[in-house]
Amino acid sequence: MNPSKSNLQTVLESGQFAVTAEAGPPRGAKPEIVRQKAKILKGCVDACNVTDNQTSVVRMCSLAACKILRDEGIDAVMQMVCRDRNRIAAQSDILGAAALGISNLLCLSGDHQTFGDHPQAKNVFDIDSIHLLQIAKGMRDESKFSGGKEVDGPPDIFIGAAANPFADPFKIQVPRLAKKVAAGAQFIQTQCVFNLDKFVEFMKGVRDRGLHEKTYILAGITPVKSVPMIEYMATKVAGMDVPPALIERIKGVEKKNQKKEGIKIAVETIQQLKEIKGVRGVHIMAIEWEEAVPEIVQQANLKVK
């Protein structure tokens, strides 16, 4: 084993079904909030993503929260969006992260700032997520900055990207994944899978092109807490595909048991995902509900390193 490899990369390369989770950083400077999340997740995930000002709401930066997770013994995946930083800042943050031992990077475009609490902000989008992948790969593999100059000490990073099999237009989603793989995505974390049929269709397209052999695909899982939450996700969250039958299933359960049902659905989905060829792990996004992760991992009988 290469000691410089991240735990996530090691697990995926070993062929073990990987488990990642997501931790949203706090809306303030309290490190103990991140430490608290780390305590909940430690021992039940192979790595944990830290979101980067998700939904364009200001939070503690991903890099700092990743460092706190790492100090707590969790392999961190730094999410980086193109909305807030140009190619200079992006490369600078990649170097800083690598220097602090954060060795997983997830390259994203980022939600538009109109969703957040600073809709008056100017967005950057100097580069897009595919460029960010190329740049990170170039820094690591060729010791070159995007401007062409030499990197004095390339960053040792495992590079990933997101995929949304449920986004429109559907026909472009496999080719878009192919572009991300060509740009350097070694692992992929998908949007939450609620519509399993559509995900199966997407994965067939992925396998037809052999992409599952070129990148590790982790399917997204979000446990549902309540009826308002699933209805919000179905109607208000961009790029989400929630079948009406799933909403009905949650509605059919007494309010006090809805969280339990949500976890049950997540576990059932994981069992089905494990059967899909090319799915190499799951990415559990329990939004402000990290406590659900250990329960799901245990009930789904997932093992972590």
Partner 1 sequence: MIVGEQKPIEDILSYIDGCERILLAGCHGCVTVCCAGGQKEVDVLASMIELGRMKRRQPCKITKIMQERQCDVEFLEELIAKSKDHDVVLSMACGAGVQLVAENAGTLKVYPAINTNFIGAIHEKGVWGERCQTCGDCKLYLTGGICPVTRCAKSLMNGPCGGSRDGKCEVNSEISCGWQLIIDRLEATGCLDQYEKILEPVDWSRSRDGGPRKLVREDLR
Query: How many Å apart are CA 218 and CA 162, to the nearest integer?
Result: 9
Contact assessment for residue 187 and residue 213, using Cβ atoms and an 8 Å cutoff: no
Question: Of residues 24-83, which lie at the interface with partner 1 (CB under 8 A)?
Answer: 82-83
Bridge partners for 105 per DSSP: 78, 159
Contact assessment for residue 23 and residue 290, using Cβ atoms and an 8 Å cutoff: yes
Query: Rounded to whole angstroms, what are the CA distances from 245 to 12, 60, 161, 202, 225?
Result: 33, 37, 30, 20, 16
Q: What angle do CA 244, 112, 137 make, to 5 degrees?
A: 105
The nearer residue to partner 1, 64 or 196, going by C-beta atoms, is 196
Contact assessment for residue 21 and residue 49, using Cβ atoms and an 8 Å cutoff: yes
Query: How many Å apart are CA 38 and CA 191, to the nearest integer?
Result: 23
Q: Kindly state the smallest distance separating residue 163's Cβ from partner 1, in Å.
A: 8
* 136: Cβ contacts below 8 Å, ≥ 6 apart: 94, 105, 107, 155, 157, 159, 184
Q: Does 164 bind partner 1 (CB under 8 A)?
A: yes
Query: Rounded to whole angstroms, what are the CA distances from 266 to 240, 296, 297, 300?
Result: 16, 7, 10, 9
The nearer residue to partner 1, 46 or 111, going by C-beta atoms, is 111
Kindly tell me which residue out of 5, 61, 121, 123 binds partner 1, with binding defined by CB under 8 A.
123
The nearer residue to partner 1, 125 or 274, going by C-beta atoms, is 125
Query: Binders of partner 1: how many residues, by CB under 8 A?
Result: 37
Query: How many Å apart are CA 7 and CA 305, to the nearest integer?
Result: 8
The nearer residue to partner 1, 64 or 124, going by C-beta atoms, is 124
Kindly tell me which residue out of 58, 88, 89, 182 binds partner 1, with binding defined by CB under 8 A.
182
The nearer residue to partner 1, 9 or 53, going by C-beta atoms, is 53
Kindly tell me which residue out of 21, 45, 178, 230 binds partner 1, with binding defined by CB under 8 A.
178
Residue span binding partner 1 (CB under 8 A) among the ranges 19-27, 167-175, 268-276, 283-291: 167-175
What mask of x and - would describe binding to partner 1 in positions 237 to 256, judged by CB under 8 A? -xx-----------------
The nearer residue to partner 1, 171 or 277, going by C-beta atoms, is 171
Contact residues toward partner 1 (CB under 8 A) are: 82-83, 87, 109-112, 114-115, 123, 125-131, 134, 146, 162-164, 166-169, 171-172, 175-176, 178-179, 182-183, 191, 238-239
